[in-house]
Structure 1
Amino acid sequence: MSTSEEFAKIASDLETQELESPLGVAAPNVYSQLLAIYLLQNEMSHAKFLWKRIPQAVKAANAEMGFIWAVGQKIWLRDFPGIYDSLKKDWSEPIKNIMTALQESTRQRAFMLVSQAYSSISGDDLASFVGLPLKEAIDAAIQRGWEANAQTRMVMPKKPAPPPDPPLPNEQQLGVLTDYVSFLEN
């Protein structure tokens, strides 16, 4: 499994290949991998503009590219169940790792969104959001420290801890204190 830095490096290399391709048309695998990586990086505008600049003949000759774009359309619509359904394909080898990482990234994003937006959610809805069977979704929620009630079939997400306030540099602290004292004196 590749890290996000490795995917960023691959994307940079693919962008270079696209720019340096003869007659301005890259190989279909370059477009497919780049499109999948843009989706993984949640760079939807990059993905959309890449899709628009891929020649129609290349799109028509490569069915897998259309399947990748179908995933992108579901992401654009925030249709989580649709994303997971469209990811259930037999991907070619260079695309398979990217799409697996995309599925896991989407699942993690869905868990984060649920934890921020819900105080309680039905197990079925949670399973739909995270693309897992009900039992696995509830088990994954419990592993995250969430509570689950078997009788009501409800899951109570644990709210994420707010990020700590960044420390202020000394000059900035002095400026804040000066403004505060100045306000009190006037």
Structure 2
Amino acid sequence: MMDFSQLKDALASRSFDLVAEICDELMLQVASRGINFQQEWPYAIHLLGHIYINDLNSARFLWKSIPDGIKESRQEVVAAWKIGQCLWNRDFAGVYRAISAFEWSQEALDLVNAFRESYTKRTFELLVSAYSTINVTDAALFLGMSEDDAINYAVQHGWRLDSAAGMLEVVKPKVISEQKLDSSKLQRLTEYVFHLEH
């Protein structure tokens, strides 16, 4: 009998970044004891844990190690890997389609939704760094949203809409840079303070 309490606690507390590591450790422990764990192993959660932290190499390795019988009998495992395949192929819209195409178990749903949220945020940050303007259709495709939702999301994040052109103007966040004191100014300041004191 395997003890999944640590995994259940991580899922319940929404500590999704720990899921893959917990599963990896538990799998090693169980395998080292020679226990046949494959039938009760939470493969979908394990895959989603690696996908959540964007560890696609580990997700691929895990997928390849899953017995064919499990892949054939558990649709959620295949659905989780479909997300991984889309990520691997940089199919932005496909990631969202793969998420939406499956009715996730209650156990996986929060993890999938949290991944979708973080993936949207990461994709949005990529758009900010890559574009100065982008048409609404492309933005919606990248963000896995309807055009109206993509416009609202972008505008909430400071972008401007040119509705006549159907374009979004990307507004880069202001970067607050630390002022650096060059050494010659520091030397002059030191000499000045020294002069005042003597």
Q: How does 1:119-134 map to 2 (within 5 A)?
A: 119-134=132-147
Rounded to whole Å, the distance in 1 between the matches of 2:133 and 2:13 is 32
2:104 aligned to 65, 81, 91, which one?
91
Identity %: 30
- Alignment CA distance shift 1:28-1:128 (3 Å): farther
Rounded to whole Å, the distance in 2 between the matches of 1:23 and 1:157 is 54
What is the match of residue 38 of structure 1?
50
The 3-state SS of whatever aligns with 1:121 is strand
What is the match of residue 114 of structure 1?
127
Runs of 5+ unmatched residues, structure 1: 168-172, 178-186
The 3-state SS of whatever aligns with 1:20 is helix
TM-score scaled by length of structure 1: 0.80
What is the match of residue 19 of structure 2?
10
Indicate the RMSD between aligned Cα atoms, in angstroms.
2.7
Q: CA deviation at 1:109?
A: 1.3
Rounded to whole Å, the distance in 1 between the matches of 2:168 and 2:176 is 24
Runs of 5+ unmatched residues, structure 2: 1-10, 187-198
- The answer (yes or no) to whether the contact 1:35–1:51 under 8 Å persists in 2 is yes
- The answer (yes or no) to whether the contact 2:139–2:150 under 8 Å persists in 1 is yes
Rounded to whole Å, the distance in 2 between the matches of 1:75 and 1:28 is 27
- Alignment CA distance shift 1:5-1:73 (3 Å): same
Rounded to whole Å, the distance in 2 between the matches of 1:164 and 1:97 is 37
Q: How does 1:69-84 map to 2 (within 5 A)?
A: 69-84=81-96
Q: CA deviation at 1:163?
A: 7.5
1:151 aligns to 2:170 (yes or no): no
What is the match of residue 4 of structure 2?
none
Rounded to whole Å, the distance in 2 between the matches of 1:56 and 1:30 is 15
Larger Rg: 2
- The answer (yes or no) to whether the contact 1:25–1:55 under 8 Å persists in 2 is no
Rounded to whole Å, the distance in 2 between the matches of 1:71 and 1:60 is 17
Q: CA deviation at 1:49?
A: 0.8
Q: CA deviation at 1:28?
A: 4.9
Aligned pair count? Answer: 169
- The answer (yes or no) to whether the contact 2:18–2:49 under 8 Å persists in 1 is no
Rounded to whole Å, the distance in 2 between the matches of 1:143 and 1:8 is 27
